Amino acid sequence: MINFVKNNNMNIQTEKLGLIEWISKLNDISIIEKLKSIKEDYSKSKDWWDTLNKEELESIERGLKDLEDGKIHSHETARKVYEKYL
């Protein structure tokens, strides 16, 4: 998992550098304006985490505590229990 994150991060960095190089050579004002609009929209958007209500946050915290305490079940067990509902 750590290698995936590390490799993924390196790929993102490579992509960002490629975009920076492309943008630095760009002379089309309409594309620059579109990029500025994307940047502004992105800056205004909220992280999904920030949109969760108190109950949802508490539920996530309980789930994480259950995980830490070893109170977990395999996917196979869960499918057997809930098979009739699927």
The type of residue at 8 is: N
- Token look-up 């940047």 returns 39
Whole-structure pTM over 0.85, yes or no?
no
What is the rounded CA–CA span in Å between residue 58 and residue 54? Answer: 6
Q: What is the DSSP string of 8-69?
A: HHHHHHHHHHHHHHHHHT---HHHHHHHHHHHHHHHHPPPGGGG--HHHHHHHHHHHHHHHT
Amino acid 63: pLDDT: 93
Two tokens at 63? 């789930």
Q: Which residue has the higher pLDDT, 41 or 86?
A: 41
CA neighbours within 13 Å on the CB side: how many for 30? Answer: 0
pLDDT digits (tens, 9 = 90+) for 18-65: 999 999 999 999 999 999 999 999 888 888 888 899 999 999 999 999
Q: For residue 4, name the pLDDT band (cuts at 50, 70, 90).
A: very low
